[in-house]
A = this chain, B = another copy of it.
């Protein structure tokens, strides 16, 4: 075992650890070598990982205040969802199968106008946090309005989260007057809940076509000042890129470069329509990308050039996008789709192999949202965010390769236990932190008040019944 794998090389006197997991059938570390350890073990103390190795090794080094044997289980790092709008779980499946412009203008915008307020953001984000934790997503990177409420929801659920307050140069539900954007952003950062190192504030400029260059620049400056993540959507559709080419006479990544918005603290969601020069620029500047494969497929936006990004050295994580365009929050499903879609698009079954895909869902995802030194792998010194998968099931039998299983066979529903910061938040598939029935009831109550243009969804519902 490498020397770095345990904090203490001198096992006398044997130190205590808060929690020791042993006899894990496969411990999938997602470390730099993507090592998988049979009969693995992990020791956790103070919410951090203090030992990783075989059961024999860890038992010779630590005494657990609590010990738990997990034969028949696989343990892997908690998954990272690098792009979502958690509160939009309230709009799950609203207006499917419509063209993007009709979907936005006839369904989503009226729905948001009728429903988005602080209460909706809290309950929608709480339901989303619950769904994500049960699916093994321990960290999500969000962007929406009333983001203080999303922060409270993540705190209550026990998630780790980067909370991006949305900024755009149009009236928005939490800021009818867009000229007050800077005050809104500063107030958000000032009031951001203290006392939890699981929550990280961020600012989220909607896009190049809804934010003027000056807006993007003061927001990025504020992010640099506070050392927080700057997020925006970029080049999601060909139409958007065409429009921006008309406005700026250059491709969008070049505009961002010119405005000095690109660095390692910038996360760009989608990047479907970036050409090779833009990819090279992203690599050179260190900006991260969130790949939202299911949303891009369902909205027919296009297929992001992920293999080219990987070859160029661009950091890429996986994201679900919001529930209205997916329609769930499941990174296992995103992994499976990404692995398969890029193979068929590039006519190459070796593209996006399982280990590369798993890396995107864990360590690379952590990196693009600015948490690469805290989470994304099971290594000594990292925060103790991990999930246990029940392998003793027909659809996971037999097992030849644990990483292949994670990408191509494991489902979110196979997650049995989840820990965040060393705290058990899901046990045997049940939430340990919040009342999920209450969250469902509140979201159902809110959903009953959703209105769309001409109440399109109500008329579709009527047509479904007798």
Question: A253 to nearest B CB, angstroms?
Answer: 22
Contact indicator B99/A350 (Cβ below 8 Å): yes
Query: Could you say which of A216-224, A276-284, A292-300, A367-375 contacts chain B?
Result: A292-300
Contact indicator B444/A344 (Cβ below 8 Å): no
Contact indicator B298/A96 (Cβ below 8 Å): no
**Interface status of A4 (Cβ within 8 A of chain B):** no
Query: Could you say which of A170-178, A194-202, A325-333 contacts chain B?
Result: A325-333
Question: A358 to nearest B CB, angstroms?
Answer: 12
Q: How far is the CA of A298 from the CA of B404 in the complex (A)?
A: 12
Contact indicator B134/A341 (Cβ below 8 Å): no
Convert A82-112 into 0s and 1s, putting 1 for each residue whose CB lies closer than 8 angstroms to a CB of B. Answer: 0000000110111011111001000000000
Question: A296 contacts which chain B residues (CB < 8 A)?
Answer: 344
Question: A395 contacts which chain B residues (CB < 8 A)?
Answer: 131, 134-135, 328-330, 412
Q: How far is the CA of A427 from the CA of B69 in the complex (A)?
A: 29
List A405-434 residues whose CB lies under 8 Å from chain B.
405, 408-409, 411-414
Question: A328 contacts which chain B residues (CB < 8 A)?
Answer: 395, 408-409
Contact indicator A349/B92 (Cβ below 8 Å): no
Q: How far is the CA of A464 from the CA of B127 in the complex (A)?
A: 37
Q: How far is the CA of A39 from the CA of B428 in the complex (A)?
A: 31
Q: How far is the CA of A171 from the CA of B455 in the complex (A)?
A: 63
Q: How far is the CA of A93 from the CA of B354 in the complex (A)?
A: 11
Contact indicator A350/B36 (Cβ below 8 Å): no
Q: How far is the CA of A394 from the CA of B400 in the complex (A)?
A: 32
Residue in B closest to A326 when the chains form the complex, CB atoms: B408
Q: How far is the CA of A346 from the CA of B99 in the complex (A)?
A: 12
Question: A7 contacts which chain B residues (CB < 8 A)?
Answer: none
Q: How far is the CA of A343 from the CA of B328 in the complex (A)?
A: 18
Question: A402 contacts which chain B residues (CB < 8 A)?
Answer: 464
Question: A27 to nearest B CB, angstroms?
Answer: 10
A96 CB contact (under 8 Å) in B297, B408, B447: B408
Residue in B closest to A94 when the chains form the complex, CB atoms: B400
Query: Could you say which of A144-152, A183-191, A380-388, A435-443 contacts chain B?
Result: A435-443
A413 CB contact (under 8 Å) in B300, B346, B413, B465: B413
Q: How far is the CA of A301 from the CA of B343 in the complex (A)?
A: 9
Q: How far is the CA of A402 from the CA of B92 in the complex (A)?
A: 11
Residue in B closest to A351 when the chains form the complex, CB atoms: B300
Question: A465 contacts which chain B residues (CB < 8 A)?
Answer: 35-38
Given A134-B394, A300-B349, A464-B401; A408-B93 close (CB under 8 Å): yes
Contact indicator B1/A409 (Cβ below 8 Å): no
**Interface status of A399 (Cβ within 8 A of chain B):** yes
**Interface status of A403 (Cβ within 8 A of chain B):** yes
Q: Which of A300, A333, A399, A450 has the most CB of B within 10 A?
A: A300
**Interface status of A233 (Cβ within 8 A of chain B):** no
Q: Which of A89, A93, A127, A405 has the most CB of B within 10 A?
A: A93
Question: A415 to nearest B CB, angstroms?
Answer: 10
**Interface status of A348 (Cβ within 8 A of chain B):** yes
Contact indicator A1/B466 (Cβ below 8 Å): yes
Contact indicator A404/B327 (Cβ below 8 Å): yes
Given A92-B409, A411-B413; A303-B344 close (CB under 8 Å): yes
**Interface status of A130 (Cβ within 8 A of chain B):** yes
Contact indicator B38/A404 (Cβ below 8 Å): no
14 CB contacts below 8 A, A to B, read A93-B408, A93-B409, A97-B353, A97-B404, A99-B348, A298-B339, A298-B408, A333-B333, A393-B440, A394-B439, A397-B444, A400-B461, A411-B413, A413-B414
Which residues of A approach B to under 8 Å, CB–CB? Answer: 1, 35-38, 53-54, 89-90, 92-94, 96-100, 103, 127, 130-131, 134-135, 294, 296-303, 326-330, 333, 336-337, 339-341, 343-344, 346-351, 353-354, 392-395, 397-405, 408-409, 411-414, 436, 439-440, 443-444, 446-447, 450, 457, 460-461, 464-466
